[in-house]
A = this chain, B = another copy of it.
Amino acid sequence: MQPASERLPAVPASMAGLLDEVGRAFERQLSSDMPSVNTLCRHVERYRGKMLRPMMVFMCGQAFGDVGRSHVIVAATCEMIHMATLVHDDVLDEAEVRRRGHTVNHLRGNEVAVMLGDYLISNAFHLCSQAGDPALNLRLGEVTNTLCEGELVQLSHRDDLSLDEPTYFEIVRRKTAVLIGACCELGAMLSGAPRPAVDALRRFGEGLGVAFQIQDDLLDLEGREEVVGKSLGRDLEKGKLTLPLIIHLARPDGQARERAIAAIRARDGAALIAELSREGSLAAARRRAEDLVARARAELSHVPVGPERDALDAAALAVVHRDF
């Protein structure tokens, strides 16, 4: 659930109006009769960023028919779930900066950030219930269960230098990818897409989500804070193994392993990046992301040819070609 700042290719005009509707649904949902709560909500709304998840709901919906009120509710709900996870992730990561602003935990303390995250989760479910469709509640409840499990499993592997690739991918699938997959799936479903297409778009979204996380891993190592817009180097500090490291530590070359472990123990980011770069582990991780994007794009064969499919294709490519 980490993906922080995200930008997609130019937003088409038909999308801009829908994203405005999401913004209004958001504000309506988060307006409290308690002024101190409202102040917090206004602060956190800046986390909304480029609304990758709502756009996925709408693009997948438009590919199969009209989009309506249920799409807007699902889009706003998924973005609110995402925002809640950002607020709690920042507590877990002790991050100070998010989208070029200070995090809630940094400004107001961990207690407020924990409770504000809870408030966002609660409002997300309340918003979703307004669609009056129990299947949506059930599916999104399943998604957030999975998402929390991913986070809990990740925490249980903190500082675990033996974490292997399958476990890494399972963690990332759960904590990041299932929500994006659900956006694609539900967007298509609500527009009456046939089941095989709904399933293909779920896989498309999940593949993109995993690729997105790998790109985040790379940015945490290589990115520049002023470009990415959030605290970097946290993965290393918090003992979170990222894909380039996992690939590196699985190399048969004992000396390469030892150099990397020494850099991790010393929390020496510069030495670690030099080592991962020299041995090709950064490039290997980047290839994994590119493979995932290629496979995701192949799923688009289930989508009717047209501008909506092209937009989904462009979005997939953008995931691995971003530096923010």
Contact = CB atoms under 8 A, between A and B. Distances in A.
Interface of A: 32, 34, 36-37, 40, 84, 88, 91-92, 109-112, 114-119, 121-123, 125-134, 137-138, 141-142, 144-145, 147-149, 151-153, 155-156
A293 to B, nearest CB: 27
A155 B111 contact: yes
Copies in the complex: 2
Contact of A129 (B109, B112, B134): B134
A88 B112 contact: no
A112 B155 CA distance: 7
Given A151-B115, A152-B116, A153-B37, A122 B134 contact: no
Given A122-B141, A134-B133, A149 B32 contact: yes
Contacts of A36: 152-153, 156
A124 to B, nearest CB: 9
CB-based closest 3 A-B pairs: A126-B141, A119-B148, A129-B137
B122 A152 contact: no
30 contacts: A34-B149, A34-B153, A36-B152, A84-B118, A88-B118, A91-B110, A91-B114, A92-B111, A109-B155, A115-B148, A115-B151, A115-B155, A118-B121, A118-B148, A121-B121, A122-B144, A122-B145, A122-B147, A125-B141, A125-B144, A126-B142, A126-B144, A126-B145, A128-B137, A129-B134, A129-B137, A129-B141, A130-B138, A131-B134, A133-B134
A134 B135 CA distance: 10
A321 B148 CA distance: 39
A91 B110 CA distance: 9
Contacts of A132: 134
Nearest to A156: B36
A84 B117 CA distance: 13
Given A123-B145, A148-B119, A149-B32, A110 B110 contact: yes
Contacts of A123: 141, 145
Given A32-B145, A125-B125, A134-B137, 8 more contacts: A34-B153, A36-B152, A36-B153, A92-B111, A110-B110, A116-B148, A126-B137, A129-B137
Contacts of A148: 115-116, 118-119, 122
Nearest to A151: B115
A111 to B, nearest CB: 5
A118 B117 contact: yes
A88 B110 contact: no
Nearest to A143: B122
